Structure 1
Amino acid sequence: MVAKPYSTSHIAAVSAHFTTMRLSGAVKERLVTLLCEELDRLVPRMEDETLSQDPERKTLDDPRRSRLNYNRTRELMIDRINNVDSVGSAAVQAGIDHLEDHLAQLLRHASEAAERDRVATIKPRHLDRAVLNTKPAEGEDDNEPSQEAGAAEEFVASQAGGLITPTALLSMARSIARMSVSKDALDELLYLYAEVLEDLEEDIRKHAQLGSNPVHFIESINAMKGMMTLGWMRSRLKRAAEHAQGRGAKGIELQDVIDSQSYAVE
């Protein structure tokens, strides 16, 4: 029995999460065809990789990584529902994605804590720090000065040869902006930081020569100090937070970083 392809209405509903534009009927039909063609390429490859790892296996698996068990996750979710009768497959998939993202975040924080202790094993104290760093920003005690200082110290301590890690930036963002920050927004801030830093380094090299304008050289040095002491990042985070609050959001998204500021060095 040949399986039916996705319906165009289903593709339209899923696509609404990835674009705000309407899709024409022909585009919906073409997307159905393209997704089925992608399955034509994906499934045989997954089948070959699954059997290469376990020739006796009879069920298609994700050969590239271990995933949280579907049935166990579904049972755990059913134990926790109150107002509905069952848990659908889409909910289970969403739950698995969320839990794996949460696990990755915890391990990323814990790994960085272990690296700062110069050990190769994650210990309970490292996981405790990770749990602390991943707590929601809402409801925290308003103790901004000490938290901001701690975040700044972690931010600077995490730099190795000028490299700023997203985890350290997230910790700093939560204490300064007092809001959650999306991964895309963090990536944009890191990109902008590197871009401005590169421009400053070029300015300093250009005006460090004898005979160059000393005023511009001093301004570039002062701007570099602002970058290294986190003044630039602190200012950007505060502006993005104000922009997010202005639109009634509880967290900073990519568009808040883009819309809330010009990127000139202060």
Structure 2
Amino acid sequence: MESPGKYLKAERELRNLSLEEVSKSTKIKEDFLKAIEEDRYEHLPHAVYVKGFLIIYARYLGLDPYEVVRRHQKYQEDHSISKEEVELPRQIPLTKKRVRSWFLFVPIFAIILCIAFFICYSYFTSHKPLKRAASVLEEESASVPSIPSPLSGPGKSEIQITHQAAKKEISKLKETETKDSISSEFPPFEVLDAGIGSEIEKEGGFLVLRGKCSEFKCNNQRVYFFTRIKAQRDGKIVHVWLWKGEEFNRIKIDVKPPAWSVYSYIILRPHCLGEWKTEVRDGDNVLKSLNFKATGGS
């Protein structure tokens, strides 16, 4: 599996975004972003902030934050295992003297442990158990102490904003991990852009709508309904064309994450006069609707 840093860098470059642009939008310091893309997590603040930075960065690029966090955890596990494998042969075999000292230490330690257990048991059985639920909750909700960064640090206001944003994202992630993988916080489909026009062009590898308008002539011209969909998973959305309040046409279209541009069109015949409406739906749920008018003319 590709490392999280390389994965995020590839997705950023695919969208023609610079680290400076991402830093301004996410409030994450540019040096931090660079360290993330190079998988140099030892140069970042505490691990809890790293997780928050990854979530913010992934959402900004329109990626699944859970997938990025999973990649990071897998990378850390693999890296930890490889380190142990390298260091294992360097271990020096125990000498006879050290083995003997261990044989002496084990029973002594066991005796001390038994005494400590007996003292603790006697103390707790002679006192009423304390209700610690409230204090535990307070400790869990306490703010994480700020840790100075080994990189050139940002200003106080900037790092406070960044760390606060990271803590908010971590809190959201913890809540949603106990629910289904797809929750109401992350709807499967979201309309990023929608419009009605007279032409579709491809520009720089992307679909672009031209001739946006709210009124068209019924002279056998095409009318395009364009939508850009942010998708959390593979699926289908539906374009519905309504004429005078009744369904005229319905088209099912495949969409894929992170974002997908799709369109449908009809041809306005001379008899298609009146009020029109277009809707993009996820099942029976209307995500977006637009109105336009068809008039007579040459």
Q: Quick one: higher RCO (CA 8 Å, sep 6+), 1 or 2?
A: 2
Q: Same fold (TM over 0.5)?
A: no
Structure number having the greater helix percentage: 1
TM class, shorter-length: under 0.3
Would you tell me which structure has more strand in proportion to its own residues?
Answer: 2
TM-score w.r.t. length of structure 2: 0.24
TM-score (norm 1): 0.26
